[in-house]
Amino acid sequence: MFFHITLERNMQLQPRHFGPHLRDKLVAKLMKDVEGTCSGRHGFVVAITNVEDIGKGLIREGTGFVTFPVKYQCVVFRPFKGEILEAVVTMVNKMGFFAEAGPVQIFVSNHLIPDDMEFQSGDMPNYTTSDGSVKIQKDSEVRLKIIGTRVDATEIFCIGTIRDDFLGVINDPGAAS
Amino acid sequence: MAEKGGKNFSSEKGKTPSNLAASKEGSLKGKDSVPVNKTRHIQLDDSDSEYEGFVDERSPASSKASGKASSDLKSGKKKVSFESLKTGRKTSFETPAAKGDWGKGGKDFNAGKAGGKGSLPRATAVKPRLTEIELKLELELPKNARLLMDCEAAEILQEIEEHKTILSEDPKVKFPESFNKVLQYTKFGSHYINSQSARKVLETLKINGVNDGEICMIGNICPETVEEVYALLPSLKVNKHKNEEPIKEVLASLAKVKTSK
């Protein structure tokens, strides 16, 4: 789920950056440091929307670096357990399939795929129902429920299921069940 | 190991040792006798440690004991062995089905034997209210957090993209690749012509006791029937008598604002 939150961070700037464009350099550095990272608490920082406030810089003892407390707003993405998401399948193998929803990778194990779907290997490995009506293969869109999450420094990884009602392949009329 | 793990799991204060004991028996057959500790206070982890394991800590390692009782695997599924899946990866996933060995993968699980930092007894919750509890976790986020539906996020990110194309003329400025991925995802996920109208419609649900997270999910999923809403968001069933009609109306209004997709 996406959130728009305010975060604060202490940015350190080297003396060579001081000058008329100090603020711009600070913002650029902030963007470079923060966008695309992940934290357990906030999830994945997608983009900074604006910088609210830059506090007074404090010169650090012993070096010429200056620390500025910066308050900024950003869009973050954080998956929750129990959340329903629509994702695109990226890989299928006999253990299950991988899907991607934004910055998040989700794995759905074959145990969490309905029993009537079986793995078919081949050029395009896929999961198909016995009557062939529903197929899950690379680039299929599926609706899944997240049942577990794990956060790394740069990415979030989740486990999902499509076993429940109304989950499964999208855009097939009779598919989600 | 306990310390490491302890860092990750901010304590769930209401847990009783008896729960831990029950879960410790380690039976993987699913003990549905484990009580739900409803007074549990779920707290998010504060640290940004590298081993920041799981966003959600409520289904702890001990949950494997009640793994099968866990209601999100409603039909008593087989245990999933993730070790075979992820070669060489020690950390296993925190799901009710995950193995999450007590000893192994210690960096994510505080087995709680020594108690770590009081991240102790995890109630092995039987979780009929998983979604509800889960969504309540959002309250732990800073108060200024605003929930965005996919369509709203798409609009914001689109604006940012436009600014960025201007900025990108400056060769020094770089953008993370993930930004494009997310932008694409939000576009793919937004079903409405106009996010403000969708938001307006969904806000009316607030007075019926539907919380922000649930409203957001309904917005994102775009359900067609009320049954679908209740199936996907079981937490709403609690107030079914109160919110069924409003939800029906909201779904009808949303259908008008949808793009044809």
Nearest-angstrom CA–CA distance, B136 and B53: 20
Domain identity same for A88 and A166: yes
When the pLDDT of each residue in chain A is averaged and rounded to a whole number, the result is 88
A132: left (phi over 0), alpha (psi -120 to 50) or beta: left
Residue predicted with more confidence, B113 or A73: A73
| Range scoring the smallest mean pLDDT among A95-104, A127-136, B213-222 | B213-222
Residues A111 and A129 in one domain: yes
Q: What is the pLDDT along chain B (261 residues), one digit of tens a residue?
A: 444 444 444 444 444 444 444 434 434 343 444 444 444 445 444 444 444 344 443 444 333 433 333 333 334 334 444 444 444 444 444 444 334 333 343 344 333 344 344 445 555 444 444 444 555 544 455 567 888 888 888 888 888 888 877 766 665 556 677 888 888 888 887 777 777 888 888 888 888 878 888 888 888 888 888 888 888 888 888 878 888 888 888 888 888 887 754
Residue A96: closest CA among chain B residues belongs to which residue?
A: B85
What is the domain-level CATH number for residue A107? 2.40.50.140
Nearest CA in chain B to A88: B185
User: Which region among A91-95, A112-116, B60-64, B193-197 has the lowest average model confidence (pLDDT)?
Assistant: B60-64
Of B52, B160, B174, the CB nearest to A32: B174
The helix (H) or strand (E) run that includes residue A46 is strand A43-54
Residues B61 and B102 sit within 8 Å (Cβ to Cβ): yes
Backbone angles phi, psi at A13, to 5 degrees: -125, 140
Query: How many separate domains does chain A show?
Result: 2
CA distance B185 to A88: 9
CA atoms of A134 and A176, how far apart (whole Å)? 9
- What are the pLDDT digits (tens) for B18-76? 444 443 443 434 344 444 444 444 544 444 444 434 444 344 433 343 333 333 333 43
- CATH of residue A26's domain is 3.30.1490.120
Q: Are residues A73 and A88 in the same domain?
A: no
Q: Under an 8 A CB cutoff, do A107 and B186 touch? A: no
Its domain, for residue A12, covers 2-77
Q: Assess whether A30 and A109 both reside in one domain.
A: no
Type of residue numbered B160: I
Residue after which a domain boundary falls, among A58, A77, A96: A77
Chosen domain end from A45, A60, A77: A77
CB contact under 8 A, A149 and B77: no
Q: Does residue A57 share a domain with residue A10?
A: yes
The pLDDT tens digits of the residues spanning A22-40 come to: 888 898 899 888 988 888 7
Same domain, A65 and A87: no
Helix (H) or strand (E) holding B17: helix B17-24
Strands (DSSP E) found in A78-167: 84-93, 96-101, 104-109, 117-120, 126-129, 135-136, 141-151, 156-161
What SS3 class is residue B114? coil
pTM higher than 0.80: no
Q: Which residue has the higher pLDDT, A115 or B101?
A: A115
Note whether residue A115 is domain-resident: yes
Q: Do B54 and A86 touch (CB under 8 A)?
A: no
Q: Please give the pLDDT value at position B81.
A: 43
Claim to verify: residue A125 and residue A57 sit in the same structural domain: no
Q: Do B152 and A2 touch (CB under 8 A)?
A: yes
Test the B interface: residue of A5, A33, A46 with most B CBs within 10 Å: A46
Point out the least confidently predicted range of A50-64, A105-119, B160-174.
B160-174
Q: Confirm if A3 and B141 have CB atoms less than 8 A apart.
A: yes
The answer to whether residues B111 and B6 touch, using CB atoms and an 8 Å cutoff, is no
